[in-house]
Amino acid sequence: MKTLLIDDEPLLRAELRRMLAAFPALEIVGEAADATDARDCIRRLRPELLFLDVQMPEQTGLDLLASLESIPLVIFVTAHDRHALRAFDFGAVDYLLKPVREDRLAAAVRRALAARANAPAPSETTGANPEPDSDDSRPEPAETEASIEPFAADQNVLLRDGEQTCFVPISSIQSIEACGPYARVNLSDRHPLIPRSLNFLEQRLPPGLFFRVSRTAIINIREVARIEPWFSGGLRATLRNGSTFDLSRRQAKIFRDRMTL
């Protein structure tokens, strides 16, 4: 697979090139230090895969993608997680945080190769969640880990936030949203991305405290400020921080059965 490295830091491009040497299926055809160089390389070299930084001089990696008529497969490599949601709007294969771990890089390469072959990526606990459907009725793939013990409602959990690791009460998690192959954990003051599927997290979270409102979101029941009827027999839950989550008719029935006296 023809691969282009785009990052404004030469040392990081060199390190990425070294790590990618372990994957003979990838052919690195060039490098670029900014969006202007990258556009020229994409036009000339026609890469099938980009390893793309977000923060670059003058134009960001996201600006670069927005300017292209046809976007190759993209794996973002960046020091920040705050752009992840928009990155996956561009159909990103994966979103790697610097410094890149070899196991995460290998998983990203496997997803890229699977995407090129038009086949589903291998099943992993860090895999992407399928797209939601109208009634949340399709079965989800089973997690590969067996015998997952749920946390207690009064327990603290470790969350990695960029280069920092925080230890927070599980009850302080307001909601969790699917974000490509990650999950975004929403706290009052930060929103770390963790390499877990919602399937896995649903099994780890205390069921008396959290509720899976859809295929793409889990909410903390204690954070719900208002529940109101919504379209097609569903419900809309508004949390105390103002964020809203829609429950399909099926999930609304489960919620009512569970929460009604």
State whether 96 and 189 are in the same domain. no
Query: Where is the domain boundary, 61, 95, 116?
Result: 116
The per-residue pLDDT for 85 is: 66
Residue pair 77/34 in contact (Cβ under 8 Å)? The answer is no
The per-residue pLDDT for 192 is: 83
Residues near 30 by beta carbon (within 8 Å), at least 6 away in sequence: 4, 5, 41, 45, 47
Please list the alpha-helical segments (H only) found in 46-94.
61-67, 84-89
Residue 140 domain-assigned (yes or no): no
Share of the chain above pLDDT 70, in %: 84
State whether 94 and 172 are in the same domain. no
pLDDT of 91 above 90? no
The per-residue pLDDT for 162 is: 61
Q: How confident is the model over 202-255, as pLDDT tens digits?
A: 988 998 899 999 989 999 999 999 999 998 889 999 999 999 999 989 999 999
State whether 166 and 219 are in the same domain. yes
pLDDT of 145 above 60? no
Please state, in angstroms and rounded to a whole number, the distance separating the CA atoms of residues 162 and 114.
27
pLDDT of 138 above 60? no
DSSP β-bridge partners for residue 97? 78
Residue 211 domain-assigned (yes or no): yes
CATH number (domain holding residue 55)? 3.40.50.2300
The per-residue pLDDT for 231 is: 87
Strands 49-52 and 73-78, sheet pairing: parallel
Q: How confident is the model over 10-56, as pLDDT tens digits?
A: 999 999 999 999 999 999 999 999 999 999 999 999 999 999 998 88
Structural domain including 103 reads 2-116
Residue 144 domain-assigned (yes or no): no
The per-residue pLDDT for 73 is: 92
State whether 88 and 179 are in the same domain. no
Per the structure, the count of domains in the chain is 2
Residue 94 domain-assigned (yes or no): yes
CATH number (domain holding residue 224)? 2.40.50.1020
